[in-house]
Amino acid sequence: MMRTMRRYRIAAAASAWILAAHADASACPLTVGFAAQQATGSHHGYREYVAYVDGKMSDDTAITFELALANRMVRVDAPASRALLFVVPREDATSVRIVAVDGNGSASPGSCAASTPFAFRPTKLTREFFFDDEAKWIDKSGVTALPFDGPAMATILLNDFTVKARRRGLQGAAHVVVAIGPDGVVLDAEVFDPSGSVDLDDLAMEAALSLRFTAARLPAKAGGGAIGGVDDVTLTFTPGMTSANAH
């Protein structure tokens, strides 16, 4: 617990420049709400990243993403999905943005041309998460985009922490990133958007570690198995209730 609780001070120092990349002033109907490195390939060290998409989309929506790699930009198409996995062979990715949305009502493909990149969160939470980078669904010559079922929160209210917060006179909200095992148990946590109160942030991380999720799952074409994942959670403490809201 002490190792986990100290980590938010490092995350706080980096949060300012990460948050600066979140705003999207374009007319794009969809935005990347959160993105992070999620796992490492067990055979070749490929990188697996996750991105969660916000906004209104329909079944026929097609999304074009642009990933910034070490020395180049790569565009990749994906069908409508709230959660996307990107597998990058042998290169690090630094950011992702939506550059086109097609088949989404009145949105035109060019409406996302000015969208702002979302920096992939540099987190160590999932350093022990691995995936099979020899799987047949992975494009070995380029970036793979795979829709998947993101983790779903099974715990929403945290009554024990309402009492703890009241006793310590703590109120407010903290934004926490959690690493979720394939069994839905939260393995680690770090503060992503500090609340301004060290005590509240410590309590938020303690609460985050008590959360339970329905684990993320690959689609049927990729085996359908449960996987470890990363998600962002907002924990809100009031005198009468403690609530958790995941992306």
Short-list 158, 189, 162, 191, CA closest to 174: 191
H helices present in the chain, as ranges: 2-19, 159-167, 198-208
Prediction pTM value: 0.82
With tokens 């950011």, the residue in question is: 95
Q: Name 176's Cβ contacts closer than 8 Å, sequence gap at least 6.
A: 189, 190, 191, 192, 204, 205, 208, 232, 233, 234, 235
Task: Please spell the DSSP secondary structure of 53-67, one letter per residue.
Answer: EEE---TT-EEEEEE
Q: What is the pLDDT of residues 170-197, one digit of tens each?
A: 999 999 999 999 999 999 999 988 888 9
Residue type at 88? V
CB contact at 8 A, 49 and 86: yes
With tokens 């929403």, the residue in question is: 156
Question: At 235, is the secondary structure helix, strand, or coil?
Answer: strand
What's the sign of the alpha-carbon dihedral 89, 90, 91, 93? positive
Three-state DSSP string of 132-144:
CCCCCCCCCCCCE
Q: What is the pLDDT of residues 198-214, one digit of tens each?
A: 999 999 999 999 999 99
User: Does domain 152-246 bear CATH number 3.30.1150?
Assistant: yes
pLDDT band with cut points at 50, 70 and 90 for residue 70: confident
Instruction: Identify the residue with better confidence: 192 or 18.
Output: 192
CA pair distance 51, 93, nearest whole angstrom: 12
Q: What is the pLDDT of residues 126-163, one digit of tens each?
A: 677 889 999 999 999 999 999 999 999 887 778 889 99
Residue type at 11? A
Residue 223: pLDDT over 80: yes
